[in-house]
Amino acid sequence: MNQEVFAALGEAMKRAEDVALVTIVATNGSTPQRVGAKMLVYADGRTVGTVGGGCYENDAFWKAKESLKTRKPVRVKYELDDDFAQENGLVCGGQMEVFIEPIEPPPAVYVIGAGHVGYYLGQFAHEAGFMVHVIDDREAFANRERFPQAVEVVVEDIPAWLAGATLPASAYVVIVTRGHRHDLDALRAVIARDVRYVGLIGSRAKVARVYEALAGEGVDPARFEPIHAPIGLDIGAVTPQEIAVSILAELIAVRRGRAAAPSVSAASLKWMPKLDRLPQPR
């Protein structure tokens, strides 16, 4: 049974899919499964393997689902006394402990824009353990010579590629294109996606203009709330290298559960400048 679990775990890592592994780590007395029995729990509720069935497995299942949200492991002890066993149809009467471990694949960062900031972010993110994907419509910028460490370098129309791409729920999307109009097009293509992180480069006024344009197209303003914009931690970054460092720091903070709330919310838009149109691409 554990071979099936390990095979499913390997496939989940290939698909960049978050899962939680439930393992029996201690038993005492009569229990339905031995130490080492495992169950894999997916975010969508699928399971592979078993730690014995019954009410306690159901409880472990929900704790595993919660660990996928918190990204923190947990150890749980169950008392399988006679009353509990009889109520749940189990022939057992011991104690059992399980360890629930959320397992994340190497995080994938999609760098939308292969200009100066994207170039340095690709380098730094690779060194920090991210799987780097680079997307741009300019082959002179998006190529293997500039991004030898990338998992994928795509030269296509950015919004068209994003519209057709399958992005895992664990994906980090960094929008750092060469101009406001391209940023708007890229954000439009991903704003309805349920991914872990979306960041948009630019000033607060530029971000407000992009949001206003999308709201005018009928996008629900609630969709703006999770976006990290302006992108990156506020470290006073000026140069492309420094901006890339600030973005990577924010990606790491999100990955480790230490990120602050996005700095521009839909509720704050009314206090921002109101401009009639977006400027032309820079």
- pLDDT tens for the chain, 282 residues long, are 689 999 999 999 888 788 999 999 998 887 778 999 999 999 899 999 999 877 788 899 999 999 998 889 999 998 876 554 445 444 455 788 999 999 988 899 999 999 999 999 999 999 999 999 999 999 999 999 999 999 999 999 999 999 999 898 889 999 999 998 999 999 999 999 989 999 999 999 999 999 999 999 999 999 999 999 999 999 999 999 999 999 999 999 999 888 766 755 544 455 354 444 433 333
Task: Give backbone dihedrals phi and psi of 28, rounded to 5 degrees, phi first.
Answer: -150, 125
DSSP state of 270: G
CA 66 – CA 45 distance, rounded (Å): 11
Q: Is 71 left (phi over 0), alpha (psi -120 to 50) or beta?
A: left
| pLDDT value of position 259 | 73
CA 30 – CA 12 distance, rounded (Å): 33
| pLDDT value of position 257 | 81
Q: In the beta sheet, which residues pair with residue 142?
A: none
DSSP state of 259: P
Both structure tokens of 228: 């990290």
| pLDDT value of position 106 | 87
CA 102 – CA 191 distance, rounded (Å): 27
CA 213 – CA 237 distance, rounded (Å): 27
Is 108-271 assigned to CATH 3.40.50.720?
A: yes
Q: In the beta sheet, which residues pair with residue 38?
A: 23
Chain centroid to Cα 89, Å, comes to 39
Domain definitions of the chain by residue range = 2-103, 108-271
From the list 136, 180, 179, 186, the residue with the least C-alpha distance to 163 is 186
Q: Which residues, including other chains, have CB under 8 Å from residue 27's CB and lie 6 or more apart? A: 33, 34, 35, 94, 95, 96, 97
| pLDDT value of position 267 | 44
Cβ atoms of residues 164 and 190 within 8 Å: no
CA 167 – CA 164 distance, rounded (Å): 9
| pLDDT value of position 252 | 95
DSSP letter string, 215-252: HHTT--GGGGTT-B-S-S--S---SHHHHHHHHHHHHH
105 SS3 class? coil
